[in-house]
Amino acid sequence: MRIVLLGAPGAGKGTVAKLLTEHDGSVQISTGDILRAAVKDGTELGVQAKEYMDRGDLVPDSLIMKMMEERLQADDCERGFILDGFPRTIPQAEELKKLLERLGIALDVVVNLEVPKDVILDRLTTRRTCSNPDCQAIYNIKSNPPTEDGRCKICGSPVIQRDDETEEAIMNRLETYNEKTAPLISYYEKEGLLKNILSLKSQETVEKIKAALHT
């Protein structure tokens, strides 16, 4: 499958994307994960991106497009991909369209994960992330806590609160989403690719997405 997952921060894009990859061998491409790994490794991209990310602002489109042009041409994309966190702005969506045309491939569907605002806020403030950039497992101090001493159940690394998960940065990310990313919903509706899915439980969401792929 070749799909784009849209949704506010905290809508569960990462969790749903991971579950979808188990379905047919498509690869999850999370721009947030790629950027966090770049920051951790101290690459040129990471150094340039960090200040934006820590504030909860978007990283400039030019950096994102350079990164994604390379990523989408890697061999592991041949069986399909699930884009999680990209595109995030109208210019990114327009550039993606051109890029896919050049590569001769098309998106199957763009899924908009709809989650009520109070649920989003609760999830964001209780979310914790594995600090190992190769793992980045997501935990929740209420519904899915790490081990008692605060370690990742998968790789044993410390589980932390991300720099962009302070209350101030969370508010900024939500504002940025409304202003820059929400317009993609009507963009993809016009393109005839949009599917709105109410997303409260990730497993049910995955089933709804699979069903949408067959219609």
What is the rounded distance in angstroms from the CA atom of residue 123 to the CA atom of residue 141?
9
For β-strands 194-198 and 81-84, DSSP reports them as unpaired
Site for Zn ion (CB under 5 A): how many residues? 8
Q: Is 137 in the site for Zn ion (CB under 5 A)?
A: yes
146 interface partner picked from Zn ion, ligand ADP, none, CB below 5 to 8 A per type: none
- For residue 15, the partner it binds in ligand ADP, Zn ion, none, with Cβ less than 5 to 8 A by kind, is none
On the 0-12 / 13-18 / 19+ scale of CB atoms within 10 A, 178 is: exposed
53 binds ligand ADP (CB under 6 A): yes
Q: Among residues 1 and 33, whose Cβ is nearest to ligand ADP?
A: 33
Nearer to ligand ADP, 70 or 149 (CB): 70
Using rule CB under 5 A, residue 74 touches Zn ion: no
Active-site annotation holds for 36: no
88 touches ligand ADP by CB under 6 A = yes
126 half-sphere exposure, CB direction, 13 A CA radius: 13
71 is catalytic: no
User: Which of 52, 107, 160, 196 touches ligand ADP (CB under 6 A)?
Assistant: 52
Identified binder of ligand ADP from the candidate list 1, 38, 59, 65, rule CB under 6 A: 59
Angstrom distance (rounded) from CA 205 to CA 209: 6
Q: How many residues bind ligand ADP (CB under 6 A)?
A: 17
Q: Around 125, how many Cα atoms within 13 Å sit in the side-chain half-sphere? A: 8
State the catalytic residue, choosing from 13, 36, 128, 195.
Answer: 13
**Under rule CB under 6 A, residue 67 binds ligand ADP:** no
- Annotated catalytic, 162? yes
Residue ranges in contact with ligand ADP by CB under 6 A: 9, 31-32, 35, 52-53, 56-59, 64, 85-86, 88, 92, 164, 173
Active site residues per annotation: 13, 88, 127, 162, 173
Residue ranges in contact with Zn ion by CB under 5 A: 130, 132, 135, 137, 152, 154-155, 157
